[in-house]
Amino acid sequence: MLRKGMFISDRYEIIDKVGSGGMSDVYKAKCHKLNRYVAIKVLKPEFSEDKNFVSKFRVEAQSAAGLSHPNIVNVFDVGEDNGIYYIVMELIEGITLKKYIERKGKLPVKEAVSILIQVAQGIEAAHNNHIIHRDIKPQNIIISKEGKVKVTDFGIARAASTNTISSNAMGSVHYISPEQAKGGFIDEKSDIYSLGITLYEMVTGRLPFEGDSTVSIALQHVQNELPSPLIYVPDLPISVEKIIEKCTQKKPDRRYLKVSSLIADLKKSLISPDEDFVQMVTLDENGATRMISDEEVSQIRKESGFERQDIDIPVIGKDNELLDPDDDDDVVVNDDLEDELEDDDNPKLDKIIAIGGIVTAVVIVIIVAFVVISFAGNGCSGSSKKDKTTAETTLDAKHTKVPNVVGLTQDEAIEKLKAATLGYKVKEEYDNKIKEGYVISTSEDADTVVEKNTTITIVVSRGSKDVEVQDVAGKTKDEAKKILTDAGFKVKLEYKADNSVELDKVISTDPVAYTQAKYGDDITIYVSSGSDSTEVLVPKIVGMSTQDAAKASLEANGLKLGEVGEMYSDTYDKGKVAKQDVEANSKVPQGTTVNIWISKGPEEKPKVPNLVGRTEDEAKALLKANGLEAGEAKSEYSDSVTSGKIISQTVQADSTVEKGSKVGYTVSKGPKPAEKPAEPEPTTKTVKKNISRDNLNVPADITSGELVADIEVKYSNKTENYTQNLGNYEEFSTATINQTVDSKAKSATITVKLDGTVVYTCDVEYLN
């Protein structure tokens, strides 16, 4: 273990340890040559003399070193110093996507899609360089404090080729593709499957497949239908649901063929989330079932290096503890710095790979299961919304009966609905009588005849929920009712005479305040009816011809006339009672005050004034004086109307409108000025960059050689390359890279090499 203050290669000063993985530790360090902070991944001492581990460590460096993209963690340097093998990387201060999901639960759909677009862009850059990541998971995705998403850990990445089968490249079992779990051929579409599982976890807050062992989880990836994300997010937009479904098809050729196609659909889903635009690959319902031959099984075993059939191989871990190979813990991170950087190598998986046993078991068990599945019928891929058949049919071919699933568990209900060729959505509600996880009700009654594939909503109990009864004493009955209703209670009102509590204010509740009650329970609010007195019926006084008549009627019933207001009314003539604030025929305590409003007759509707020829300020003042508002103001050129005067209005003058209506208008900008001839667009641009010797990242063992700048210029439909010789490194001080290109160029990347070694690279996004 390195100590604080130690130097590697006389250049990198160790600041602190920030993470630990199965085969390496990660340190925060300072590069004194370039005066910047970096992250250094160092191979653990116990693996430094093992050629296999050193080779795997170097593969990560080689895989990532050639990648330069804003959504990939940059690798700056790689080397060895007195037996210490290390990789120098960009230091990202932030949090892994896994931790982010754990803290927030399921993410908002737009946020999840935006994150996956950035991840996919990084993976696309890797694919364009013929690199398959093979271990995409939230633990290997970092979100910086600025919100930038970066992919890291190319530790099991491989070049895409026909020899892509590798037992050592299994990745994390919760996210691996079916072909990866079987040790089969792996290409870009395997990464796309893992991207789909990652999106599933972001929007639902959970993994699609869980199990007691690595073997059981891997088997589910191969043979089980992916649980619909709608189970956990019923309002998930159809575009996102379909994107997940297409990414996670069991057969690779039914997924997106390229990450670029996935990115295009993700971007479209941000604009039109509820549009069904994802193009699914049509299933061949009449295709023949093909079984895996013994020769193919032997070939997979041979290419994967598997001949053993051990199922559970315990592995000795740190502190000589016995590790379960199925344990999914990935990283031990320093608690104080876990948000700065997280290295997510799987320590237990790495050691298991070194021993060479557990993956053998996974693949052999999966092969056996796959043969059984193939013999039984056509695959297991597809979603809950695809057409299904049933063994028994008592109705015509297009209809089925809704089974009775009330009282069953959610899983049991879903299975019965599937067996009846029905789709399903799950809605969760608290219920004090039905046990958590059991079905309360369904959207269609049992035995109802419906068309096959109809979606049935099942309401599943979340169990009972204890809620504290809030103190609402002294509040009005309406305030108290809203507070308790919002808390999830059913509210009943009861009036009680009380000499100490004001009329219509709350005396108390049952159950009393600060006690626990169940969500959905009945709560009784006791409301003061004033001092102990007789209750009387409120007469109907709306429509009475005069205020005096209303007052006489109230007093005859033991009530009092309160405030008298006025209001416009189209229903009641001027002078008649148009409204009372205590409803007629309601029971109230004797002596209650009733407020009334007298009709002013129909409100006179204003006429729209003529605005044409007036200034905008004059128009606004005129509209306000007539009880109207200024609407949208537009402007246009006019040869006949002076600039600043109104040309036209949206509502015709002298027409009658409702009070407060808006009237828009168009203001003249005067005559249209003569157009200036357009300046010719430049035909060329310049890629220009000044660099100095201090900008170069030259390994310590290289002291001379020719410096050559490669300039890659990108257009919308092509790429061009230029070369500029910068001279001998020993004599080099500063240089200006200057290349004239076509004006249609979009951006450029400058890479400086010293005898073939990359010592400097930068992106030029804005060309002069």
CATH of the domain at 231: 1.10.510.10
One domain, residues 179 and 166: yes
Helices (H), ranges, 557-594:
none
* Residue 131 lies inside a defined structural domain of this protein: yes
Cross-strand bridge partners of residue 315? 323
Residues 135, 153, 265, 330: which is the catalytic one?
Answer: 135
Query: What's the Cα-to-Cα distance from 488 to each of 439, 442, 465, 621, rounded to whole Å?
Result: 20, 22, 10, 50
* Residue 216 lies inside a defined structural domain of this protein: yes
What CATH number is attached to the domain comprising 640? 3.30.10.20
In the chain, how many domains are there?
A: 6
What pLDDT is stored for residue 101 in this prediction? 93
* Residue 20 lies inside a defined structural domain of this protein: no
Cross-strand bridge partners of residue 560? 593
* Residue 181 lies inside a defined structural domain of this protein: yes
Is the Cβ–Cβ distance between 502 and 528 less than 8 Å? yes
CB neighbour burial string for 551-583, b if at least 16 within 10 angstroms, e if fewer: bebbeeebbebeeeeeeebeebeeebbbbbebe
One domain, residues 289 and 325: yes
End residue of a domain, out of 528, 556, 573:
528
Query: What's the Cα-to-Cα distance from 31 to each of 14, 18, 207, 753, rounded to whole Å?
Result: 9, 16, 40, 21
What CATH number is attached to the domain comprising 692? 2.60.40
One domain, residues 136 and 192: yes
One domain, residues 548 and 582: yes
Three-state DSSP at 527 gives strand
* Residue 634 lies inside a defined structural domain of this protein: yes
What pLDDT is stored for residue 713 in this prediction? 84
Residues of the chain with pLDDT under 70: 1, 22, 60, 62-64, 155-171, 282-394, 499, 531-534, 765-768
One domain, residues 268 and 353: yes
- In angstroms, the CA 762 to CA 765 distance is 10
* Residue 145 lies inside a defined structural domain of this protein: yes
Contact residues for 213 (Cβ-Cβ < 8 A; gap 6+):
312, 326
Give the domain extent around 307: 99-386
Active site residue 570: no
One domain, residues 445 and 558: no
One domain, residues 379 and 406: no
End residue of a domain, out of 528, 550, 581:
528
3-state secondary structure 230-259: HHCCCCCCHHHHHHHHHHCCCCHHHCCCCH
End residue of a domain, out of 332, 356, 386:
386
One domain, residues 483 and 344: no
One domain, residues 436 and 497: no
Three-state DSSP at 694 gives helix
Euclidean distance between the first and final Cα of the chain, in Å? 50
One domain, residues 491 and 623: no
* Residue 337 lies inside a defined structural domain of this protein: yes
What pLDDT is stored for residue 605 in this prediction? 84
Residue 94 phi/psi, 5° resolution? 180, -145
- In angstroms, the CA 117 to CA 263 distance is 6
Q: What is the pLDDT of residues 579-591, one digit of tens each?
A: 999 999 888 888 8
One domain, residues 307 and 277: yes
One domain, residues 470 and 547: no
Three-state DSSP at 19 gives strand
Torsion of CA 315, 316, 318, 322, to 10 degrees: 80
* Residue 65 lies inside a defined structural domain of this protein: no
The alpha carbons of the chain give a radius of gyration, in whole angstroms, of 37
The dihedral built from the CA positions of residue 392, 398, 403 and 405, taken in this order, carries a sign that is: positive
- In angstroms, the CA 390 to CA 736 distance is 74
**What's the token pair of residue 378?**
């056509």
3-state secondary structure 140-203: HEEEECCCCEEECCCCCCEECCCCCCCHHHCCCCCCCCHHHHCCCCCCHHHHHHHHHHHHHHHH
